[in-house]
Amino acid sequence: MRDTGGEGGGGDKIGKSEKDQSWIPKIIKKRVCTTFVEDSFSNGALCQCGGARDAHASVALGDYFSTAIVNHWDTAQHSSEYPTDAFGELQFAGASKRHSYFLRLSWDTPPSMVYTLMTAHWGLSAPNLVVSVVGGEGRTKVKTWVREVLRQGLVKASQSTGAWILTAGLREGVGRCVGEAVRDHATAASSVSLNKVVALGIAPWGLVHNRQQLINPQGSFPAKYYVQNTTRDSCCLDNNYQAFLLVDDGSVGRRGGETGFRAKLEDYISHQRTGIWGSGSIDIPVLCMLVSGEANILERMDLSLKNSMPWLVLAGSGGLADFLSDVLENLSSAPVVQSSEVDGEAGPGVDLKDRVAERFKKYFPSEAESDKLIERALSIYHNRDFITIYHGEQEGPNDFDTVLLKALVGASKHRASVDASPHNEELKLAVTWNRVDIAKSELFNGDIHWRYEDLEDSMTDALVNNKPQFVRLFTENGLNILDYLTYGRLETLYRSVPEGTLLFQLLQRRLVERLGTAAAIPTSTNVSESPSKVGAENVQSGPVAEISLFEVSGVLELLMGDVCQPFYYNALGLEQITSKRRALRRASKLLRGDCLYREKRCLFPWASLFVWAVLQNRSEMATFFWEMSGETVLSALSGCKMLRELSKLEGETETKLSMKELAQRFENLAHDVFSSCYRSDESRSFTLLIRKSPVWGGTTCLQMGMGADARLFFSHDGVQSLLSQIWWGDMKRNTEVWKLILTFFCPLLCYTNLISFRKQEDQQLEEEGKPNEDGLGRDNDSLYGTTIFSFSDIKHIEADAQGSHSPRSATIKGIPQPRRPPKRPFIVSRWRQFWFAPVTSFLGNVLMYFLFLLLFAYVLLVDFKPPPPSGPAITEYVLYFWVFTIVCEEIRETFFLGTMTWRQRLRVYIQDVWNKCDITAITLFIIGLICRMFKWSYEFGRDVLCVDYMVFTLRLIHIFAIHKQLGPKIIIVGKMVKDVFFFLFFLGVWLMAYGVANQALLYSYDPRPDRIFRRVFYRPYLHIFGQIPVEEMDVGKRWDMPCTDNVTLIDEGEEPCRVTYSNWLVVILLVVYLLVTNILLINLLIAMFSHTFSQVQTNSDIYWKFQRYNLIVQYHSRPSLAPPFIILSHINLFIKRNIRKVPSVKIHHFVLQLKGKAANRLMTWETIQKEDFLTAQSKIQKNRDSERLKRMSVKVDSMLKHLTESRDFDHRLRALENEMEYCSNALSWIVDTLAQGSTFKPSRPPPTLRDAFPSSSST
């Protein structure tokens, strides 16, 4: 298989090829002559099969009776089948490294078997077109213009359509020209289109030179094939062909043995479907192209025409092509044709037959069996509707692809039913070949009215086979996507996903989960380990047909995580189910029934197609669907999220990089479109960021951007402006910090003018739509819903949706509200404005956290009492209560915030690094607290609490991430910590190497583990910082430490004496160790730090702005009071939620749900901004030099085309002038003759010649 064959390299690949193709001799056969029929012209030396007498087996020579009675050798009667002995890969000596495939097969081998071998085992891509070049064989010289038609016309057109070209595959005649043209185009083409043209050689086995080099009963991988003279024409195989089918009929040195098999193969291919796995809308078009040719081709041509096979005849190429073009063009307008039609099918008209016979003798004067061939020619004439005459010498090769298209369309019109649209086949061919230029110029130029039914199948073909230009063309010309995309068709699109892709594996895993342990379905481990094997099993057992929207929803849930609600649950009727197991059982039960949901229209068709394209990493298709879908910014961020998650699962490096590039492209699009929105209207762009989306599972742009790690998007000034407004609440953003601290300790100052608050009147004016710089007043603003300026506005609008109405947003842009809640007193409102702002909550938490650390330090240093009953002290009990309130807040954040299930909340909580730090600190504190209560573990508990204090102190780093200067530096420090770990690895290796060697050289025996650890690890580590005990290391120095050499005393703990013998080596090792560590490794660490700093410094501001969002969300959702007073807020929340049943407003943080007109107006405004952005991008694209050159090239091509046409007109005018001159001379001669004669007297004299161009004569 192609998948398996592509794995590994070298010998493994060859071994796999041998194993994969070892079955070929069991099925594919060869032909061997088994009856010697003497050739009368060879005096008994040769058989009529062409083989010598010595080459025949004894069985063939021994049948004298058969030899006596047989006069003509026949392959079916006089040859037998044996297992083939020539197959595998072919390497041409002295040519490129690319191997070709070859197979020796019998002439009656089933074509289905051969086609499967070529596509499934040899890896040839299924064709969108097959052009079979007939004629031009042998050593006849090919005309120059025919070479150009083959090179610039046929091969170029085949390259654009993904075609197979069938010839004899030998280095002679037309076959050699086609091979050279394929080689030249493959060299000049890009790597993407390199394998689009497949040149396939079908030649008689007995005609191939050096065929003995190919024989190997076990198969050749590869077979070395030598060609003697590559410059002259010969019957050697051409190295420019990808595959060879060597048809064996038992003959040697004879042509035509492959004709029958080639015709059957063409007919079989013409009944296969195009596209991936035959998913196209039409059968593979097959066209026979006649170049020159001998008279015996008439029989083959007649048989294929009776099977409705279209032919293209190259008029002027010589031989049979000229004869047929003469017959079809010159006899088609003669009146004798009608007489033949009167006769019907009983027999042709006598005059027509005589004319055909006359022309046949003219072109083939030496042909023996002329009567039979003339009958064939007459039969071909009656099937002339399937034949197209091409005058390549006059028309040129430039528009050859259009000629092919029209030839196939002309033939298909006669095969199609009467009710079918006459242009449907032409459209399907254009889609199959991916020629959108032909479709635009010929089919969608305004002359044809296309119905939805005409475009439906072609749309599916374009979607499945990744042809985005046709998808765009169809949607612009009458295809309604709402009618087209049902849930059933969407499932069909997901079932068409290719096997080797990551999406296919993910869908199969979900399918396995739903179907359970069914026998036909492989386990999920097999899916992940061997996708090609699983794909083969799936084709046989058919589970891919079982893929439903439930599997798609599971894949999207895997990629999206907890950012949004599950997709397609509404269609499946699972919207009320939260348990995965219940949803699985319900979906299994539903899919075993009638599945009525498949007939329903898809609610959001463009978004569904966008997801489908993104999951397959189809860049151009996904970009088009993004342009067509609503909620542009959120759609781009969603695509970014899916692609980045897919890239983490993808194993292939190239695909992973393309996914990351496309993800970054969508993030850039989201950033640029939001920039356009922000420049247009700041307040509406804020609403855009926090609007709850019905399309994307109830998420918002901010939540999706955070899930997609869209740092560039979060660094946008508009996003940061919204975050700053939410951070400061109703206070002005230029408020100094010292004023906040002073008001925090003296709350009554909030009623003074110390802190500036935004005025109520200003907010009302802004909300009602003050005229902006663009001159848009309140009337224009009233089209787009409510304007949001602070988070309190958001809370009020959410209250409006529940039935109450905000005093601030009393009108939704001009729509009066019937009632308002009573306005709060100034004392209450100002108090709430100050204390409910996230910045106040943050400031309170910071100040109280510093007090907490001071109390913790005081307890550890001063007031840490012994275990009960002597302790703990009062301050320690206060510390315990403080930590208890911190734990309560962590529990509230984890389990009582948001709308997700508790498992989802716990998973999201643990994903955060600082939450892990909190869990570590709390766990250590609990361990230390328990241990310090008992005498036996008191000291250990105190040690744990000391370490825990360090963890609590490090938590300050996260708190100061909000600071504009400290935040980026914290990010840089975090990146450098990773560098330190790499440094410690190198240092540890060198430190252990030196420490062990140093200890062994200094002390011959020292069993104490503490001393070994200190001297092997700790002492070399201190050497780095200059602490080198020279007296201990150098025996030349005096050391006052008492020591002994007695092993017993050393075992008891005495200090061993140093070894003096190898002390010189100790000094050398010390010098080398200090050189490596202090100079090499330390400078390496500095270089790594410098690289990290320079790399991160440019983007550190973007990283900091991205992380700032998490901190703002955290402190916005927190109560106003900080620990330990936060317990009062917890009690208040408990009473409000559980006793008074007051719903939470902050549970939907940063979410605004718009409905009805407000949502439609906002979406319309966003769509307008997107269109403006795309228009601006299109203008920039058109103004680029490359685009200008393309447009200039198109204009030059059109001018050349017009010049060519004008030359044709010039030739025609000259010919007309010559004929007019001849007619004028003839008439003059007639007039002169009549004037001189006396037969009759005219009544008036002959007319005189008048000047038709007086102006020209006057000049």
Per-residue pLDDT, averaged over 72-90, amounts to 82
Distance in angstroms (rounded) separating the CA atoms of residues 674 and 1165: 12
**Which of the pair, 1008 or 141, is modelled with greater confidence?**
1008
Nearest to 408 by CA among 394, 392, 421, 425: 425
For the cut 90, the answer to whether the pLDDT of residue 947 exceeds it is: yes
DSSP single-letter state for residue 1144: P
For the cut 50, the answer to whether the pLDDT of residue 811 exceeds it is: no
| 748 close to 760: Cβ distance less than 8 angstroms | no
Phi, psi of 1028 (to 5 degrees): -120, 110
Residues 6+ apart with CB under 8 A from 1164: 783, 784
Q: Is the CA virtual torsion 705, 707, 709, 715 positive or negative?
A: positive
pLDDT at residue number 24: 82
pLDDT at residue number 5: 37
| 1153 close to 798: Cβ distance less than 8 angstroms | yes
Asked if the peptide bond before residue 968 counts as cis, ω within 30 degrees of 0, the response is no
**Which of the pair, 626 or 1212, is modelled with greater confidence?**
626
Of 278-292, 331-345, 806-820, the least confident: 806-820
Q: Could you report the per-residue pLDDT of 251-278, keeping only the tens digit for each?
A: 887 787 788 888 889 889 888 877 665 5
DSSP single-letter state for residue 33: E
pLDDT at residue number 532: 36
For the cut 90, the answer to whether the pLDDT of residue 956 exceeds it is: no
Residues 6+ apart with CB under 8 A from 64: none
Alpha carbon of 1046 to those of 488, 1049, 1082: distances in Å? 90, 5, 41
C-alpha 590 chain-centroid distance: 32
Q: Could you report the per-residue pLDDT of 338-379, keeping only the tens digit for each?
A: 433 334 443 445 577 888 888 888 888 877 777 888 888 888
pLDDT at residue number 780: 35
pLDDT at residue number 961: 75
Distance in angstroms (rounded) separating the CA atoms of residues 247 and 260: 10
Pick the most confident of 78-82, 552-556, 778-782, 796-800.
552-556
Strand pairing of 811-812 and 815-816? antiparallel
Residues 6+ apart with CB under 8 A from 892: 1130, 1133
Distance in angstroms (rounded) separating the CA atoms of residues 1145 and 1255: 94
Percent of the chain with pLDDT over 90: 21
pLDDT at residue number 1256: 42
> Position of tokens 């660490």?
1085
Q: Could you report the per-residue pLDDT of 112-148, keeping only the tens digit for each?
A: 888 988 888 888 888 888 888 888 777 677 788 888 8
Question: Both tokens of residue 1204?
Answer: 């060519």
pLDDT at residue number 6: 38
Total number of residues shown for the chain: 1259
pLDDT at residue number 816: 35
pLDDT at residue number 788: 38
Q: Could you report the per-residue pLDDT of 455-506, keeping only the tens digit for each?
A: 888 899 899 989 999 999 999 887 889 999 999 999 999 999 988 899 999 9
- Other beta carbons within 10 Å of 469: 17
pLDDT at residue number 213: 82
Pick the most confident of 153-167, 239-253, 624-638.
624-638
Per-residue pLDDT, averaged over 20-42, amounts to 79
Per-residue pLDDT, averaged over 1006-1034, amounts to 86
C-alpha 1101 chain-centroid distance: 32
Axis crossing angle, helix 717-728 with helix 682-690, rounded to the nearest 10? 80
Q: Is the CA virtual torsion 559, 564, 565, 571 positive or negative?
A: negative
Phi, psi of 150 (to 5 degrees): -70, -40
Question: Both tokens of residue 1196?
Answer: 């030059």
Alpha carbon of 959 to those of 242, 676, 914, 956: distances in Å? 66, 33, 10, 5
Strands (E), 155-205: 163-167, 198-204
Question: Both tokens of residue 212?
Answer: 């003995």
pLDDT at residue number 1163: 92
Of 380-384, 679-683, 914-918, the least confident: 380-384
Alpha carbon of 1202 to those of 398, 443, 1198, 1199: distances in Å? 13, 22, 6, 5
Strand pairing of 220-225 and 811-812? unpaired
pLDDT at residue number 822: 64
Q: Is the CA virtual torsion 900, 906, 910, 916 positive or negative?
A: positive
**Which of the pair, 780 or 294, is modelled with greater confidence?**
294
- Other beta carbons within 10 Å of 831: 16
| 374 close to 360: Cβ distance less than 8 angstroms | yes
**Which of the pair, 257 or 725, is modelled with greater confidence?**
725
SS3 per residue for 222-247: EEEECCCCCCCCCCCECCCCCEEEEE
Pick the most confident of 645-654, 768-777, 1090-1099.
645-654
Nearest to 1127 by CA among 843, 895, 889: 889
For the cut 70, the answer to whether the pLDDT of residue 819 exceeds it is: no
Question: Both tokens of residue 627?
Answer: 């342009």
Percent of the chain with pLDDT over 70: 81
Beta-ladder partners of 165: 131, 199
| HSE-up of residue 1041 (Cα within 13 Å, Cβ side) | 14
Axis crossing angle, helix 653-680 with helix 682-690, rounded to the nearest 10? 140
Rounded to 5, what percent of the chain is helix, strand, coil?
60, 5, 30
**Which of the pair, 115 or 802, is modelled with greater confidence?**
115
| 1234 close to 1247: Cβ distance less than 8 angstroms | no
H or E element that contains 106: strand 100-106
Of 345-349, 731-735, 784-788, 991-995, the least confident: 784-788
Q: Could you report the per-residue pLDDT of 183-229, keeping only the tens digit for each?
A: 777 766 544 444 467 888 998 888 888 888 888 888 777 788 877 66
For the cut 50, the answer to whether the pLDDT of residue 836 exceeds it is: yes
pLDDT at residue number 63: 52
pLDDT at residue number 545: 56
Per-residue pLDDT, averaged over 1017-1036, amounts to 84
| 931 close to 941: Cβ distance less than 8 angstroms | yes
Q: Could you report the per-residue pLDDT of 1201-1222, keeping only the tens digit for each?
A: 777 777 777 777 888 888 888 8
What is the reported pTM?
0.73
Question: Both tokens of residue 591?
Answer: 């899919």
pLDDT at residue number 572: 87
